[in-house]
Amino acid sequence: MASYTTEERNGHPRTTVKLEPGERVALCRCFQSKKFPLCDGTHRDVPGKGPVIVEAPGEPPAAKEG
């Protein structure tokens, strides 16, 4: 599952998103998401804006059977 941290760097926030192999997320670029940096669909109310889709290479880990 994607995780992220935000730190301040040179007076500006910097967010790092970590993905699992094969994971896909939508990152907000309208700055209106309540789940920022992840897109929550709020961009639908912001004309001309939409998310950035990011996909991590690789295959997701095999599901454990139990």
Residues that bind ligand FES (CB under 6 A): 28-30, 32-33, 39-43, 49-51
Nearer to ligand FES, 36 or 56 (CB): 36
CB of 55 to ligand FES, least distance (A): 16
Nearer to ligand FES, 29 or 56 (CB): 29
Long-range contacts from 18-23, C-beta under 8 angstroms, 24+ separation: 19/54, 19/56, 20/56, 20/60, 20/61, 21/56, 21/57, 21/58, 21/59, 21/60, 21/61, 22/55, 22/56, 22/57, 22/58, 22/59, 22/60, 23/55, 23/56, 23/60
Nearer to ligand FES, 42 or 56 (CB): 42
